[in-house]
């Protein structure tokens, strides 16, 4: 199950992503945690110290390796240079599974031990000043999009992505890659305005979107969120002393998390799990082709000097039952 946490800056995306990852790990579920946000804090929220977090390999620095692995023997993708972030898999492509070893995880994922289990953490890499506004900016989150487009995940295994709600993910199609998107919103006008924008984009693509109210302090906060987002409000999280303690560098054991917050995390899991039956791999594949053609036309063809529409394998449908190429 692919799950994204989005929302306005500072709303609590990283905090809730990390708590959700811990919650899943504590149940023994296999989890890949992905930090796809501009502000890279997920490692720290999962308990890594500064040195450990700084040593995490950036996916953006392994783009060629990722592309070469994923394109495999796909004859439609002749080189890593010709592969852009939206290039869809086809016959001969290699797919990623949550529970396996592969060169992409070897280069880009690191194990993080949590109470109850170990998860894999992948990070896009911090954005340097010179990246902003240029191609590299896109290629860094592009690495995540590429992996999601080649991922065949099953029930009871999870990929949790901490990301921004920015326009970058709308242009690329990244926002359509998830079984469930949790929009983290504080009970403020700004918080819900990000929700409205996201909802608008999501509507046309059948994106499952639920609001998680955060830092909700009382009946007035709750009433405000209910009035603004209606039935899309899934659950709310209040101030957490557990989170505060962790921020001080003194993480209590995860089983010490407040009962109400644990119940909220379980609601998130139930809502995400419920999307399994609604999966439609054909539509999922069609959407990646749609965004690929759009990106090809707007910049990809010019950049690569080829017609990237030829990369689309018309007979290919991504599916968790697809087996490895011979
Ligand atoms: N429920 C909570 N209880 C206590 N503190 C919280 C809670 N949610 C978030 N915080 C605190 O609020 C701050 C912002 O949270 P967080 O970093 O998760 O937000 P973010 O949306 O990921 O921000 P950014 O956009 O900068 O990535 C952090 O200091 C975090 O510890
Ligand atoms: Mg964050």
318 lies in a domain? no
299 lies in a domain? yes
Q: What is the pLDDT of residue 324?
A: 55
Confirm or reject: Cβ of 241 under 6 Å from ligand 1.
no
Give the domain range for residue 114: 2-311
102 lies in a domain? yes
322 lies in a domain? no
Confirm or reject: Cβ of 124 under 6 Å from ligand 1.
no
Q: Report CA-CA distances (Å) from 173 to 49, 178, 196, 207, 216.
A: 33, 10, 18, 11, 31
Convert the pLDDT of each residue in 30-86 to its tens digit.
999 999 987 889 999 999 999 999 999 999 889 899 999 999 999 999 999 999 999
Q: What is the pLDDT of residue 128?
A: 53
Q: Whose CA is nearest to atom 11 of ligand 1?
A: 12
Which is nearest to 37 in space by CA: 57, 56, 20, 13? 13
How many structural domains does the chain have? 1
321 lies in a domain? no
| Separation CA 114–CA 87 (nearest Å) | 35
Which is nearest to 151 in space by CA: 311, 1, 326? 1
The neighbouring-strand residues paired with 292 are none
Confirm or reject: Cβ of 37 under 6 Å from ligand 1.
yes
Q: What is the pLDDT of residue 136?
A: 44
Instruction: Answer for the pair 164, 198: CB distance below 8 angstroms, yes or no.
Output: no
324 lies in a domain? no
Confirm or reject: Cβ of 40 under 6 Å from ligand 1.
no
| Separation CA 159–CA 176 (nearest Å) | 14
34 lies in a domain? yes
Residue 247 CA, ligand 1 centroid: distance in Å: 10
Convert the pLDDT of each residue in 282-293 to its tens digit.
999 999 999 999
Residue 14 CA, ligand 1 centroid: distance in Å: 6
226 lies in a domain? yes
| Separation CA 230–CA 152 (nearest Å) | 33
CATH of the domain at 115: 3.40.50.300
Residue 293 CA, ligand 2 centroid: distance in Å: 31
Residue 87 CA, ligand 2 centroid: distance in Å: 28
Beta pairing class for 209-214 and 180-185 = parallel
From first to last of its 326 residues, the chain has per-residue pLDDT tens of: 999 999 999 999 999 999 999 999 999 999 999 999 878 899 999 999 999 999 999 998 898 999 999 999 999 999 999 999 999 999 999 999 999 999 999 999 999 999 889 999 999 987 654 444 445 445 568 899 999 999 999 999 999 999 987 766 777 889 999 999 999 999 999 989 999 999 998 999 999 999 999 999 999 999 999 999 999 999 999 999 999 999 888 888 999 999 999 999 999 999 999 999 999 999 999 999 999 999 999 989 998 899 999 999 999 999 987 655 44
Q: What is the pLDDT of residue 137?
A: 45
Closest-lying ligand 1 atom to the alpha carbon of residue 7: 21
């Amino acid at each position: 199950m692919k799950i994204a946490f989005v929302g306005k800056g500072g709303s609590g995306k990283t905090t809730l992503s990390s708590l959700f990852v811990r919650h899943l790990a504590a149940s023994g579920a296999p989890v890949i945690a992905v930090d796809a946000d501009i502000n890279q804090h997920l490692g720290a929220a999962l308990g890594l110290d500064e040195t450990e977090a700084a040593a995490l390999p950036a996916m953006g620095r392994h783009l060629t390796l990722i592309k070469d692995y994923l394109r495999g023997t796909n004859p439609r993708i002749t080189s890593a240079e010709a592969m852009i972030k939206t290039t869809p898999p086809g016959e001969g492509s290699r797919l990623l599974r949550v529970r396996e070893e592969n060169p992409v995880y070897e280069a880009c994922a690191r194990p993080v031990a949590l109470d109850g289990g170990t998860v894999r953490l992948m990070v896009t890499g911090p954005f340097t000043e010179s990246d902003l506004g240029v191609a590299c900016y896109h290629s860094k989150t592009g690495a995540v999009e590429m992996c999601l487009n080649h991922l065949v995940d099953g029930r009871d295994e999870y990929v949790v992505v901490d990301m921004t709600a920015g326009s970058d993910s709308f242009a690329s199609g990244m926002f359509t890659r998830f079984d469930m998107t949790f929009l983290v919103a504080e009970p403020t006008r700004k918080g819900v305005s990000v929700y409205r924008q996201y909802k608008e984009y999501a509507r046309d693509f059948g994106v499952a979107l639920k609001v998680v109210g955060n830092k909700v302090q009382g009946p007035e906060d709750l009433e405000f969120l209910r009035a603004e987002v209606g039935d899309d409000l899934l659950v709310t999280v209040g101030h957490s002393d557990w989170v505060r303690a962790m921020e001080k560098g003194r993480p209590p054991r995860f089983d010490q998390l407040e009962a109400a917050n644990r119940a909220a995390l379980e609601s998130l899991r139930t809502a995400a799990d419920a999307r399994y039956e609604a999966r439609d791999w054909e539509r999922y594949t069609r959407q990646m082709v749609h965004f690929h053609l759009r990106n090809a036309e707007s910049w990809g063809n010019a950049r690569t000097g080829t017609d990237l529409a030829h990369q689309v394998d018309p007979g290919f449908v991504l599916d968790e039952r697809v087996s490895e190429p011979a």
